[in-house]
Amino acid sequence: MAEYAHPEVLVSTDWVAQHRQDPNVRLVEVDVDTAAYEEGHIPGAIAWAWNTQLCDTVRRDILSKEQFEELMRQSGVSNDTTLVLYGDNNNWFAAWAFWQAKIYGHRDVRLMNGGRKKWLAEGRELSFEVPSVPRTDYRASEPDLSLRAFLDEVRQAMEKGSATLVDVRSPAEFTGEILAPPGLPETCQRGGHIPGARNIPWGKACNEDGTFKSADELRELYASEGIDGSKPVIAYCRIGERSSHTWFVLRYLLGLDNVKNYDGSWTEWGNLVGAPVERGAARAAS
Amino acid sequence: MKAEAYEERILELEGWTVRLARYKSGELYRARVESVDPGATLARATGASAAEAEARAIEDARRRLTRSRRQQV
């Protein structure tokens, strides 16, 4: 069985149980449901709220370099800290945090394979205590925007085929049957997908226990939709967190060099006046 | 304190397929309902028993799901 391209970015629940008290490890829970941390978390973990601490809260954007530095400093993260992220929904927003940490050049960042669900299912230790952490003097790098796609690049990919667009939402969101995951607010004016996009839901990369599928299974999954590293890839979803999960899989588990996350995602495209929209199932892979 | 009695099961609520997960931490049972596809959390609740926590989470999830619309494609 082939190994992941970068196995060092994944740690197991066992590894976390053994290393959670290491002074050079900072464990951070990042959940979709930001109240989950308060229901009990891995002892020693702090929490980041995706909707207030991992984005600019005024304009729609990721953290600026200064905001990212401040988050790291107040979280007790130094430039040489091993940052271990985990969360609910199989690490959706943990992957979002991972993506931003890589944009700002953090060297050693990892995901706990299986996320919060696996920790709970294994009956492991929980704590209600919020640890206090020492402030640091973290310095972020200039943003590496080769990891992020903006609207113009996505439009070019659609018009000229310069990159493969991968829509990682559910089939019902992709076809336009629903405008948001069931039970969540509708954040776009139109349903459907960017013309020419492939639909590979993020969850196909995971096992039932929340861990990632093997490298061989992942390679087969994406190759069956024409994604084999021969062409740049841009992943998108509704707001960019599910696609950061797929970005992580393609970039770090399969080792594709040119993969970007379009965090504007369907909330941007599906609200654009005049933007082309395709509805129904995907065209056959070429 | 350890997480105890973690269980998951699949349900149909208001025409949508959802996953109900529950576990016990401390004195309380905690239940959560999420959509199976794409997997977003819909509701969560606590209770003194598993049945109580689950019933509360299901009730809240039902309320939210009734607001979801399906479009003609």
The number of residues making up chain B comes to 73
Rounded to an integer, the average pLDDT of A261-284 is 93
Asked whether residue A48 carries a pLDDT value surpassing 70, the answer given is: yes
Q: Are A27 and A86 in contact (CB under 8 A)?
A: yes
pLDDT at A187: 87
Interface check for A193 against chain B (CB to CB < 8 A): the answer is no
Strand-pair partners of A235: A166, A261
Residue A1's pLDDT band, with cuts at 50, 70 and 90, is: low
Q: Check CB contact under 8 Å for A203 and B39.
A: yes
pLDDT at B72: 87
On chain B, the residues whose CB falls within 8 A of the CB of A199 are none
CA gyration radius for chain A? 18
Q: Which residue of A has its CA nearest to B39?
A: A89
Q: Give tens-digit pLDDT for A158-198.
A: 999 999 999 999 999 999 999 988 988 888 999 999 999 99
**How much of chain B is helix, strand and coil, in % rounded to 5?**
20, 50, 30
Q: Where are the alpha helices (DSSP H) in A126-187?
A: 151-160, 171-175
pLDDT at A74: 98
Distance from C-alpha of A241 to C-alpha of A267, rounded to nearest angstrom? 12
Q: Give tens-digit pLDDT for A21-39.
A: 999 999 999 998 888 999 9
Question: Environment class of residue A145 by beta-carbon count within 10 Å: exposed (0-12), middle (13-18) or buried (19+)?
Answer: exposed
Listed residue (A84, A91, A101) closest to A249, CA to CA: A91
Q: What are the sequence ranges of the domains in chain B? A: 4-65
Domain A148-269 CATH (choose: 1.10.287.3510, 3.90.550.10, 3.20.19.10, 3.40.250.10): 3.40.250.10
Residue A284's pLDDT band, with cuts at 50, 70 and 90, is: low
Q: Give tens-digit pLDDT for A211-230.
A: 999 999 999 999 999 999 99
Rounded to an integer, the average pLDDT of B7-33 is 95
A148-269 and A7-144 share a CATH fold: yes
Pairing mode, if any, of strands A82-86 and A164-167? Answer: unpaired
pLDDT at A28: 98
Distance from C-alpha of B48 to C-alpha of B61, rounded to nearest angstrom? 19
Q: Check CB contact under 8 Å for B71 and A39.
A: no
Helices first, then strands: H and E counts in chain A: 9, 9
Q: Which residues of A are catalytic?
A: 237
CB contacts < 8 A, A to B, total 103
The answer for A 231-250 residues in CB contact with B (under 8 A) is 242
pLDDT at B73: 87
Positive/negative CA dihedral, A259, A263, A266, A270: negative
Question: Environment class of residue A71 by beta-carbon count within 10 Å: exposed (0-12), middle (13-18) or buried (19+)?
Answer: buried
Distance from C-alpha of A130 to C-alpha of A132, rounded to nearest angstrom? 7
Distance from C-alpha of A124 to C-alpha of B73, rounded to nearest angstrom? 45
Asked whether residue A156 carries a pLDDT value surpassing 70, the answer given is: yes
On chain B, the residues whose CB falls within 8 A of the CB of A92 are 39
Residue A285's pLDDT band, with cuts at 50, 70 and 90, is: low
Residue A286's pLDDT band, with cuts at 50, 70 and 90, is: low
Non-local (6+) Cβ contacts of A1 within 8 A are A214, A215, A216
Q: Check CB contact under 8 Å for B2 and A39.
A: no
Residue B67's pLDDT band, with cuts at 50, 70 and 90, is: confident
| ipTM (interface predicted TM) | 0.92
Domain A7-144 CATH (choose: 3.40.250.10, 2.60.120.260, 1.10.10.10, 3.30.9.10): 3.40.250.10
Rounded to an integer, the average pLDDT of B17-43 is 92
Distance from C-alpha of A151 to C-alpha of A263, rounded to nearest angstrom? 9
Rounded to an integer, the average pLDDT of A55-75 is 97
pLDDT at A52: 95
Q: Are A42 and A125 in contact (CB under 8 A)?
A: yes
Q: What are the sequence ranges of the domains in chain A? A: 7-144, 148-269
